Amino acid sequence: MKLAPDSVVAGHQDHGVGFVEVSGVSKTFSLNRRQNLLALDGMSFDIRKGELVAVVGPSGCGKSTLLRIIAGLETADAGSVRIGGESPATLTREHRLGVAFQDHALLPWLSVGDNIALPYRLSGVPVNRARIAQLAAMVGLSDFLHSVPRQLSGGMRQRVSIARAIVLDPVLLLLDEPFGALDLVTRRALNREMQSLWASLGTTTLLITHSVEEAVQLADRVIIMAARPGRIHAQFNVDLPRPRDRVVTDSLAFLQIVQAVSASLDDASAASGSSLEAGS
């Protein structure tokens, strides 16, 4: 069966009112006194409330820079980001953004429970132990609340990191290659667990990943970035039933979407513009 042109749609789609609005975002880094690097060039897209959007693109295309701008950890040179009508800086100050990176960044001297509790302490609000226990159960770590990170596997540490990112019920969850350093078997297991967790919470989520299969398995929509300077090359709606278990991921429909996204990613990798600018 050939993939119908309207079942996986390239280009900007109308997903209703955007909860997250990225408008014309550009970012340039100074390499030295003579050269600048244009990392992002006019990025514009939105994410509707409750949607899980995955971003894939060639290495160095600015995916992580984009996430850091949305998280309020970097400032854009041009354009704007609004989340529920508010700025990332406002939401960061109010601890309403959840972020998990490829490096779990757990504090090695704290237990699992205390690592998950860290956002409570940083925000100055009382620790909700019932909430911590609930999340530990959701990520399969109820028996490890008193363990320290060195006693955990890599996959378990990432589960702690994600639980910590969502403990304060963020309005937006940002995931930057959270499973990228894990082996394939562990990564697939966590993809299944992430689906269940996300379905139960319904948190608006932006996922940065290098894996097309992971993007299609988890996301409602996949955004493909072109090679540096980063900009949108295409977008694909993923209209597949959930949960996306082995039955779904082994299906022809899943494989066709993966092939279409992969082909577009290949095109994006070839569509590179000049990203170096002469400095003043």
The predicted model scores a pTM of 0.86
Rg (C-alpha) for the chain, rounded Å, is: 19
Beta strands in 146-251 (DSSP E): 172-176, 204-208, 221-225, 232-237
Query: Residue 3: pLDDT above 50?
Result: no
Contact 171, 84 (CB under 8 A): yes
* DSSP conformation class of 226: P
How far apart CA 129 and CA 228 sit, in angstroms, is 45
pLDDT of residue 232: 92
| pLDDT number for residue 1 | 35
Question: Tokens 């969850």 correspond to what residue?
Answer: 173
| Among the ranges given (5-9, 164-168, 172-176, 255-259), the one the predictor scored with the smallest mean pLDDT | 5-9
In the chain, where the domains are located:
20-96+171-278, 107-169
In this prediction, residues 195-222 reach a mean pLDDT of 90
Contact 160/116 with Cβ under 8 angstroms? yes
- Average pLDDT taken over every residue of the chain: 86
pLDDT of residue 101: 83
Report the distance separating Cα 46 and Cα 61, nearest Å. Answer: 19
Average pLDDT over residues 134-150: 92
Fold held by 20-96+171-278: Rossmann fold (3.40.50)
Q: Is residue 260 pLDDT above 90, yes or no?
A: yes
Contacts of 250 (CB under 8 A, 6+ apart): none
- Report whether pLDDT(170) > 90: yes
DSSP state of 34: S
Question: CA distances (Å), 267 to each of 54, 59, 224, 227, 255, in order?
Answer: 18, 14, 10, 9, 18
Range 39-63 average pLDDT: 92
The pLDDT assigned to 148 comes to 96
Q: At what angle do helices 112-123 and 129-138 cross, to 10 degrees?
A: 130
Q: What is the pLDDT of residues 143-168, one digit of tens each?
A: 999 999 999 988 889 889 999 999 99
The pLDDT of residue 257 is: 96
Helix (H, G, I), strand (E, B) or coil at 39: strand
Return the percent helix, strand and coil in the chain, to nearest 5.
35, 25, 40
Q: For residue 5, what pLDDT is reported? A: 36
38: Cβ contacts below 8 Å, ≥ 6 apart: 26, 27, 28, 228, 229, 275, 276, 277
How far apart, in whole angstroms, are the C-alpha atoms of residue 271 and residue 196?
A: 36
pLDDT of residue 271: 66
